[in-house]
Amino acid sequence: MAAVSETIRVGTRGSALALWQTNFVVDQLRVFYPEIEWSITVIKTQGDILLDRPLFALGGRGLFVKEIEDALLEGTIDLAIHSLKDMPTTQPDGLAVMAIGEREDPRDALVSHAATPLDDTMPLRIGTSSLRRRAQLQAWQPRWNFADVRGNVHTRLAKLDSGDYDALVLAAAGLNRLGLPQRITRLLDTSDCLPAVGQGVLCAEYRLDHVALATRLSVLQDPHTVAAVMAERSFLQCLDGGCQVPIAGHATVTDDIIALRGRVASLDGSETLDASVSGPITQAVALGVEAARLLLAQGADRLLQRDQLPN
């Protein structure tokens, strides 16, 4: 066994999914750097505490990371592992985000109650905390009714199983990572429900002055995943959006060519605007900006007004 040369303190939320993700990354880092001790610290965020209100009413993106970022800036931890879709497109001064690993399945999934057939013609009660999912599915299935649901994956599944909802909409990536793919009733085609920016991707957040750590983390990067999320996050940043408005964006990479689709919808799903762009991975950021400008030219700024948020 190699002698311990230093200790890297890794911060994470305490949910089963967050802990799985953090341990998954740390286990890989241990293979590359056995001489380093990787210790894990659980940090509770406002998003974990304030469960009585919808995400959009609390400010959306950033709810699950602020306390962890404070710990990074204070030096209490050295590294944090997040779901990239939870991350704002800009970080506090002194911090940086790096996409790591290959992307899991980016699609959304319907998980139905065992006693309720997933009938498209029935007025089912669908649980989701995402305005993006709600708006797109309302357009796809106008008979469905949507209700807010909060809590971690297991908490939401328990609410479903107790009959509070007929079905839930969850990220396929989270269910797969928790070993629950059998709970998926239907994977949603991205044409019907375009994923959130960064969905299915893990990221590491660290202090910019910790150059050695950034170099170590880079061994886990997948170039195609990095290029795809650079395009997606550029797109989102240009629209100045987050969980408070229905914005979706997803990029794929084939033979070093990025294909990016972006979507903005009205809250009730009655109006949807789409844009598609493609180009070399070296132009990832520019492609994101181009997609956003195409949507703004169609009038997306009108749909992005936050005064349209539900009460």
Q: pLDDT of the chain along its 311 residues, tens only? A: 566 679 999 999 999 999 999 999 999 999 999 999 999 999 987 655 544 455 554 455 566 788 999 999 999 999 999 999 989 999 999 999 999 999 999 999 999 987 666 776 778 999 998 999 999 999 888 889 999 998 899 999 999 999 999 999 999 999 999 999 999 999 999 999 999 999 999 999 999 999 999 999 999 999 999 999 999 999 999 997 554 578 999 999 999 999 999 999 998 889 999 999 999 999 999 999 999 999 999 999 888 875 455 54
pTM of the entire structure?
Answer: 0.90
Q: Rounded CA gap, 311 and 56, in Å?
A: 10
Residues of the chain with CATH 3.40.190.10: 1-103+199-221, 108-187
Cβ atoms within 10 Å of 255's Cβ, excluding its own: 7
The fold for domain 108-187 equals D-Maltodextrin-Binding Protein; domain 2 (3.40.190)
Of 6, 15, 17, give the one whose Cα is nearest residue 175. Answer: 17
- What is the C-alpha separation between 199 and 222, in angstroms, rounded? 15
What superfamily does domain 1-103+199-221 belong to in CATH? Periplasmic binding protein-like II (3.40.190.10)
Q: How far apart are CA 69 and CA 61, in angstroms?
A: 13
With residue 47 as reference, give the H or E element that holds it.
helix 46-49
Residue at 185: amino acid letter: T
Nearest 5°: the CA angle 183, 196, 301 is 145
Q: Which residues contact 146 (CB under 8 A, 6 or more apart)?
A: 125, 126, 127, 128, 134, 137, 138
Rounded to whole angstroms, how far apart are CA atoms 2 and 134? 51
Q: From CA 35, how far away is CA 32, in angstroms rounded?
A: 9
Topology given in CATH for the domain delimited by 222-311:
Double Stranded RNA Binding Domain (3.30.160)
Could you list the active site residues? Answer: 86
